[in-house]
Structure 1
Amino acid sequence: MLTKMSTNASAEAIRALEEALGPAVVLSGADIPERNLQDWSTLGPVRPLAVVRPSDAQGVATAMRIASRHGIAVVPQGGLTGLAGGSRPIEGAIALSLERLVGIEEIDAAAATVTVKAGTTLEAIQRAADDAGFFFALDLGARGSCAIGGNIGTNAGGNRVIRYGMTRDMVLGLEVVLPDGTLMTSLNKMIKNNAGFDLKQLFIGSEGTLGIVTRAVLRLHPKPNCVMAAVCGLGSYDKVLSFLGSTRRWLGPTLSAFEVMWPDYWQVATQRVPNIRRPVSGEHAFYVLVEGMGTHEDEKARFDALLENQMEAGIIEDAAVAQSLSDVKAFWGARDAAAEFRQVLGPHSSFDIGLPVADMDIYAGACRARLARELPGCESYFYGHIADGNMHIIACVPGAAQQPYEAIDDIVYDLVRSHGGTISAEHGIGLKKKKFLPYTRSPAELELMRSIKAALDPRGLLNPGKVV
């Protein structure tokens, strides 16, 4: 169990860290950067005891050993783009930032892998893979600032899960610092490796509560030779489901994304967020961004034939088809505009839920109505990956002196529970969703999670209070 550290013990720990790692690596007091006080969640800032910024895995291990020896908690931090409070500091704890553990160590063309340090941004990995003639499939709106260690820690999903899977499906090997400071290196490059327990799975999605990822071996894919995309307007959710079924049958493994936007979201994204192009005219009940990635140019003909067939069948009311990669990027701009909603809506709550695909519009209608009824003036916006069962929600009371965050959470997650969904599809639990975890997980599952945590971190020093 954690106990509050005395001032002398804290000062002694900081001195030990400075002696082992150098004073420039350890920031305390007024030297702690503001960015390290919080993540992108709605939880307020917290000033940690110190921010430690090692430049290599050995430095991370040394910091963890010293913290363990002094009984001080450690909160790992990457790009600080999390929305659930997983990397938010704890008072009296050390924030261990991986911002200096950056770089592409190797691209193995024969194995189709890339070995990276945990603080490397997702976009940097995407670019390195592209320069080497490969494709790294993980993609999300925060690509320019999120760190791969955080992506691994939360098992990030993103835009192309329907084809390539979650982050878990792209990780072959890990190097991890355990709560006692042990450095476990298992930088496997083989897709097939059944030599005992698959230990990396313990750390993927554990949000830094079981270990700190310092390096990773990631799986690469062939670079697509053609990318097809269209934004379509549809008249009902039944037609969205019909279009999804047809898209799967027509495109098969080339289908890489199927994003659905409700009109409330579409209006803000295309009319209020600056520099977002509105691809289709008129008003529609739903807007679908469908994308395919192929290795042969003739796959474009199949994509066009799909759209023509669905237009003739009355499923699609209107469509804009990308004629260039710049068009594809512009189409995704409308879908990624959620990152700019804070600028036009002000403070708001963001949600990342999972539901049976057939129930999503029913849920959206019930959620929108209940939020407006119980919280007068509350507005809500719905969008998401949908084809993989993932819906995102943004909700707020515009102009309110203080947003009713807790009341919004209660409504959204109560309805998730009644629909048999999950409170987190890809963003993790962190601190913000912890009290709602029993809505999604059974008592037996929760107890097993606690047992694993206790086995690896018996003193509860690593990211305490998060997840379980």
Structure 2
Amino acid sequence: MDAMTLPERSEHLLGALQRRLGPQAVLVDADVPARNCNDWSASLPNRPRAVIRPVDAAGVADAIITCRKARLPFVPQGGLTGLCRGAAPEPGWVAISLERMVGIEEIDPASATITVKAGTPLETIQKAADEAGFFFPLDLGSRGSCAIGGNLSTNAGGNRVIRYGMTRELVLGLEVVLPDGTVMTSLNKLLKNNAGYDLKHLFIGSEGTLGIITRVVLRLFPKPRSTMAALCALKDYSAVVALLDAARSGLGPLLSAFEVMWPDYWDVITARAGVRPPVGAGHGFYVLVEAQGTDESIDAPRFQSWLEDLMERGLLADAAVAQSLAQTKAFWEVRDICAEFGQVLGPHNAYDIGLAVGRMDEFATRCKADLANGIAGCESVYYGHIGDGNLHLVSWVTGLPIERQPKAEMDAIIYGLVREMGGSVSAEHGIGTLKKQWLGHARSEAEIALMRTLKAALDPDQLLNPGKVI
């Protein structure tokens, strides 16, 4: 094998791996499925040299060692719902897909934990927790497609961060395969464990650049016995901030979501998407407030009384209260319709930024004006989780295909304003390659240097998802 050229060596090694793991575990060249060529970032797809689909950590380790011997860069893949090309391959790479590493391994009622394989869809975990009498609070619009390993790798946020925190807060232990093929199993179930460095945090949020997560221990919570929701209309952003303060103090631990929609978002979903919301148009802001409790007989009247008090004080211009779980779901569809913006708006660019809550409307006002003035025909709409400092926006020029959308100009305007206002270029979606050039707008030189030091220590050959994040 020493006399082989590098391409011959890689073909030989991949063939040997296919014989060890099975023909369905290693797909090469023309057999590579289209799904493994890209994520949801709408960028141009790249076909990897091969896709390896192990069923356990040992198979992942074998795949990594094979790639290292063949000098082939490799990228981990899960549900491929990322928006920053963090899981997208480059030509000639190998994709290590966890799509066959699916399943619930254990639910431990005493420790209130669930142990799962990394390729398991988020919705599967939610349903398993529910059937066991528990609640797993991480929730994203892509719940049916995204894999929990990818959720960890990007430290996903979602709809209930205001109460339960980011994904990082929901993880107790994990198993990860390092870039040299070492399997590190630390399936800790202990909430309190200060025995040395908490190594799991190296891998959560690192976007598959420091290791490949294969199994994870997640925290479970008591199942909510009551869910209340209201769609509120308010006159201005100061009223939104006042409502957030009132929700935190008046609802306390019941508060589970606080979703804010600017009027431009409202206009798009009603006029273009055909949504029929429970409150009328013409208001300054719209807020979806959700609360979850443990006793319907107590919680629902408390929620109703809280809203009535706000109405009497003049804080709310209008409000609709869900009278059933079906109506609560309908309220959430008003907020989740953004997942269909591709069909509603056509080609567009989506942004996910972090800002101080008090400055979000200032940002939205300035950003909308700067985009319209700086780019001919540019439109934008704004919405977000707000209660946890996360603003989303989409921008587009009508009639232009995605490859002709002036994304570079949009990026410069949006991220320049984010830096000026002391925010983050990524609140929950990650960096990947699409935001890599803007990382310095949110992280200091010393922070980026330390990130590079960690990457070099764990992956000195730069073969695991190289060129991503830093």
Task: Tell me the TM-score normalised to structure 1 length.
Answer: 0.97
Provide the secondary structure at the position in 2 that maps to 1:459: coil
Contact map agreement 2:354 2:423 (CA 8 A) in 1: yes
Find the counterpart in structure 2 of residue 277 from structure 1.
276
Find the counterpart in structure 1 of residue 261 from structure 2.
261
Contact map agreement 1:16 1:66 (CA 8 A) in 2: no
Q: Does 1:124 align with 2:124?
A: yes
Provide the secondary structure at the position in 1 that maps to 2:317: strand
How far off its partner does 1:453 sit?
0.5
Contact map agreement 1:258 1:290 (CA 8 A) in 2: yes
Find the counterpart in structure 1 of residue 410 from structure 2.
408
Find the counterpart in structure 1 of residue 69 from structure 2.
69
**Whole-angstrom CA distance in 2 between matches of 1:178 and 1:269:** 45
Paired AA for residue 459 in structure 2? D
Contact map agreement 1:83 1:427 (CA 8 A) in 2: yes
Contact map agreement 2:101 2:117 (CA 8 A) in 1: yes
Contact map agreement 2:266 2:281 (CA 8 A) in 1: no
1:92-148 Cα offsets, whole Å, 9 max, x none, are 110111111100111100010000000101000000000000000100111010000
How far off its partner does 1:405 sit?
1.3
**Whole-angstrom CA distance in 1 between matches of 2:283 and 2:12:** 63
Find the counterpart in structure 2 of residue 342 from structure 1.
342
How far off its partner does 1:10 sit?
2.9
Find the counterpart in structure 1 of residue 183 from structure 2.
183
> How many residues are aligned here?
463
**Whole-angstrom CA distance in 2 between matches of 1:125 and 1:279:** 31
Contact map agreement 2:351 2:394 (CA 8 A) in 1: yes
Find the counterpart in structure 1 of residue 395 from structure 2.
395
Find the counterpart in structure 2 of residue 324 from structure 1.
324
**Whole-angstrom CA distance in 1 between matches of 2:246 and 2:100:** 46
1:144-195 Cα offsets, whole Å, 9 max, x none, are 1000000000000000000000000000000001101111110001101111
**Whole-angstrom CA distance in 2 between matches of 1:326 and 1:253:** 23
Contact map agreement 1:355 1:391 (CA 8 A) in 2: yes
Find the counterpart in structure 2 of residue 228 from structure 1.
228
How far off its partner does 1:11 sit?
1.6
**Whole-angstrom CA distance in 1 between matches of 2:42 and 2:438:** 16
Gaps of at least 5 residues in structure 1 are: none
**Whole-angstrom CA distance in 2 between matches of 1:390 and 1:451:** 29
How far off its partner does 1:410 sit?
1.2
Q: In structure 2, which of residues 433, 436, 459 is the aligned counterpart of residue 434 of structure 1?
A: 436
Contact map agreement 1:119 1:149 (CA 8 A) in 2: yes
How far off its partner does 1:70 sit?
1.8
Provide the secondary structure at the position in 2 that maps to 1:291: strand
Paired AA for residue 414 in structure 2? V
Q: Does 1:462 align with 2:464?
A: yes
Residues 55-204 of structure 1: matches in 2 within 5 Å?
55-204=55-204
Q: Does 1:449 align with 2:451?
A: yes
Paired AA for residue 439 in structure 2? L
Which shows bigger deviation, 123-132 or 51-60? 51-60
Residues 23-38 of structure 1: matches in 2 within 5 Å?
23-38=23-38
Contact map agreement 1:250 1:302 (CA 8 A) in 2: no
How far off its partner does 1:71 sit?
1.6
Provide the secondary structure at the position in 1 that maps to 2:353: strand
Which shows bigger deviation, 333-342 or 393-402? 393-402
Find the counterpart in structure 1 of residue 288 from structure 2.
289
Which shows bigger deviation, 297-306 or 391-400? 297-306
Contact map agreement 1:270 1:334 (CA 8 A) in 2: no
Contact map agreement 1:152 1:167 (CA 8 A) in 2: yes
Contact map agreement 1:103 1:120 (CA 8 A) in 2: yes
Gaps of at least 5 residues in structure 2 are: none
Provide the secondary structure at the position in 2 that maps to 1:316: coil
**Whole-angstrom CA distance in 2 between matches of 1:306 and 1:180:** 56
Paired AA for residue 346 in structure 2? G
**Whole-angstrom CA distance in 1 between matches of 2:16 and 2:353:** 43
Paired AA for residue 130 in structure 1? D
**Whole-angstrom CA distance in 2 between matches of 1:61 and 1:320:** 53
**Whole-angstrom CA distance in 1 between matches of 2:280 and 2:359:** 28
Contact map agreement 1:43 1:432 (CA 8 A) in 2: no
How far off its partner does 1:346 sit?
1.1
**Whole-angstrom CA distance in 2 between matches of 1:43 and 1:368:** 24
How far off its partner does 1:376 sit?
1.0
Task: Tell me the TM-score normalised to structure 2 length.
Answer: 0.97
**Whole-angstrom CA distance in 2 between matches of 1:180 and 1:284:** 57
How far off its partner does 1:268 sit?
1.7
**Whole-angstrom CA distance in 2 between matches of 1:363 and 1:13:** 53
Paired AA for residue 444 in structure 2? S
Contact map agreement 2:6 2:70 (CA 8 A) in 1: no
Q: Does 1:244 align with 2:234?
A: no
Q: Does 1:216 align with 2:216?
A: yes
**Whole-angstrom CA distance in 1 between matches of 2:424 and 2:83:** 16
How far off its partner does 1:20 sit?
2.5
**Whole-angstrom CA distance in 2 between matches of 1:467 and 1:427:** 12
**Whole-angstrom CA distance in 1 between matches of 2:464 and 2:338:** 32
Paired AA for residue 141 in structure 2? G
Find the counterpart in structure 2 of residue 39 from structure 1.
39
1:285-312 Cα offsets, whole Å, 9 max, x none, are 1000000010122122221112111111
**Whole-angstrom CA distance in 1 between matches of 2:108 and 2:271:** 45
**Whole-angstrom CA distance in 1 between matches of 2:41 and 2:333:** 22
Find the counterpart in structure 2 of residue 19 from structure 1.
19
Which shows bigger deviation, 112-121 or 18-27? 18-27
How far off its partner does 1:407 sit?
1.2
Contact map agreement 1:232 1:288 (CA 8 A) in 2: yes
**Whole-angstrom CA distance in 2 between matches of 1:334 and 1:13:** 51
How far off its partner does 1:344 sit?
1.4
Paired AA for residue 190 in structure 1? L
Find the counterpart in structure 1 of residue 422 from structure 2.
420
